[in-house]
Amino acid sequence: MHYMELRNQTPFAEFLLLGFSEDPTLHPFIFGLFLSMYLVTVSGNLLIVLAILSDTHLHTPMYFFLSNLSLVDICFTSTTVPKMLVNIQMQSQAISYAGCITQMFFFIIFAVLDDFLLGVMAYDRFVAICHPLHYIVIMTPWLCVQLVLLCWVIGVLHALFNSLLVLRLSFCTHLEIPHFFCEINQVVHSACSDTFLNDIMMYFAAVLLAGGPLALILYSYSMIVSSIRAMSSTQGKYKAFSTCSSHLLSISLFYGTSIGVYLSANAAPSSASTATASVMYTVVTPMLNPFIYSLRNTEMKRALKRLLFHK
C-alpha cells in the first residue's frame, strides 16, 4: 500500500540536485565562478551570431553553421546553469519532477544538436577542400537549411522518446542526484522500477547518435588530410589547414570531454567527480567556442571589430 502511494505521488515528487559540494562556505565561490562563465558564454556566442548576421562577407555555409552552433551553445548552457545558480542563491537543492523532466528534455535536444552540427560542419569543410569547384553547387543555401532542420528533428525526436521512457518509470524514496542538473543516466538509475528499456535506449543513442556524427567527422577529415597532402603549394596547404584548425579544436574539446565524463561516470557513478567532469562539455566547451572560432580567424575578427567599433 505504501509503495502504491509513492508511485501515485511520482508526478509531484522532487529531485535533489547534490551539485559539487555540501560545504556552504564554497557556495559563494561556485556561484561566482559559474555566473561569470555563463555570462562569458552567452555574450561571446551572441557576439559571434551578431557579427555573422551583420557582415555580408560571412553569409556562407561555414558561418551559417557556426551561427547555429553558437545559438545552440547558448541554449545548451542555459538549460543547466541558471537553475543551479538559483538553487545556490536560494540555498536549496530541489528541482520539481516536471522541472527535472523538462530540463532533461531540452538538455538532450541541445547535446544532440551540438553533436550533429559538428558533423555537418566537418562535411562542409570536406566539400570546400576536396571539391572546391563544386562547393557552391553542392552547398546551396537550401541544403544548409535542410541539414540544420534535420539536426533539429533528430534532436527533438530523440529527446521526446527518452523523456517518454523516463515518464513511465516510478520513483521511490531515493531521489538524490549526484549532479548539478538532471542528467538522464542519473535520473534513470534513481528509479525503483525496471530500467532495462531506458538502458537499451541510452546505449543505442550513444552508439548511433554520437557514433554517427563522429564517423562522418573522421571520414571527412581523412579525405581532407589526403587532399592537403596532395597539394603542391605550401601556402595552399597552410590555408586549407587553417580553415579546419578551429573546427578540429572544437571537436576535440566536445568529444574529449564528453567521453571523459562517461568514463569517469563508470569509474565512480555516485561521486561528485562526474558532475565536475560534466562541467567541461556543458559549460567550458560552449564558453571557449567563440574564442576558438574568432582568435585565429581574420574574417571573424574583422566582422567583430566592425560590429563593436563600427569600423
CA 17 to chain centre: 20
Cα separation, 76 vs 202, whole angstroms:
19
Each residue's pLDDT tens digit, 102-156: 999 999 999 999 999 999 999 999 998 888 888 999 999 999 999 999 999 999 9
CA distances from 155 to 1, 108, 117, 167 (A): 39, 7, 11, 18
The Cα–Cα gap between 149 and 267 comes to 37
For the cut 70, the answer to whether the pLDDT of residue 269 exceeds it is: no
Domain extents for the chain?
A: 2-309
Higher model confidence: residue 72 or residue 199?
72
pTM summary value? 0.88
The C-alpha angle with vertex 207 and arms to 159 and 78, in degrees rounded to 5, equals: 35
Domain 2-309: which CATH class? mainly alpha
Q: Is 196 exposed, middle or buried (0-12, 13-18, 19+ CB in 10 A)?
A: exposed
Q: Could you tell me the maximum CA-CA distance found in the chain, to the nearest angstrom? A: 78
Distance CA 122, CA 240 (A): 13
Give the pLDDT score at 267. 57
Residue 10 pLDDT grade (very low, low, confident, very high; cuts 50, 70, 90) = very low
Please tell me the least confidently modeled range out of 44-58, 90-104, 276-290.
Answer: 276-290
**Residue with cell string 587553417:** 242
For residues 42-48, give the mean pLDDT: 94
